Amino acid sequence: MMRVLLVTIALGVGSLSPAWAYRVLEQLEQAYELQLGQVTLPAGADGSVVFTPCSTCRTMSLRVSQATVYSVGESLVDLATLRRQADSLRATADGQRRTGVYVFYDPASLRVTRLTLSR
């Protein structure tokens, strides 16, 4: 009888654990993964990233801002450096196909938060 009582108490206490609580996670960013050849990078700090996400999709334009973070691989860079790297990679067909561009944006404002080149 004592064993049944202990098991009942253990199960009751275990069900009160916060592990049972439901959590709602807010999605802060969405992203597009594209090839370098599919993307037109912004000309300036208040420009736009222009791309077509798929062959049947309409062309999209997402604005960058002063708060947009640029990176090449793991290194943070400014927009001018990102554009120079992209131009040198675009010079070859292999660079256009094998270089990924990741466009992270805020779904509420449609502003680009991060723009990354990755080989």
Regions of the chain with pLDDT less than 50: none
pLDDT at 95: 86
pLDDT at 6: 65
Cα–Cα distances (Å) from 117 to 4, 16, 71, 105, in that order, read 61, 47, 6, 15
pLDDT at 14: 62
CB atoms within 10 A of CB 33: 11
- The full set of domain ranges for the chain reads 30-118
pLDDT at 66: 94
Instruction: Answer yes or no: CATH 1.10.3470 is held by domain 30-118.
Output: no
Yes or no: say if 108 and 43 are a contact pair by the CB < 8 Å rule. no
pLDDT at 28: 85
**DSSP β-ladder status, 60-63 and 48-51:** antiparallel
Cα–Cα distances (Å) from 101 to 35, 37, 59, 112, in that order, read 6, 9, 16, 13
Nearest to 119 by CA among 105, 110, 46, 92: 92
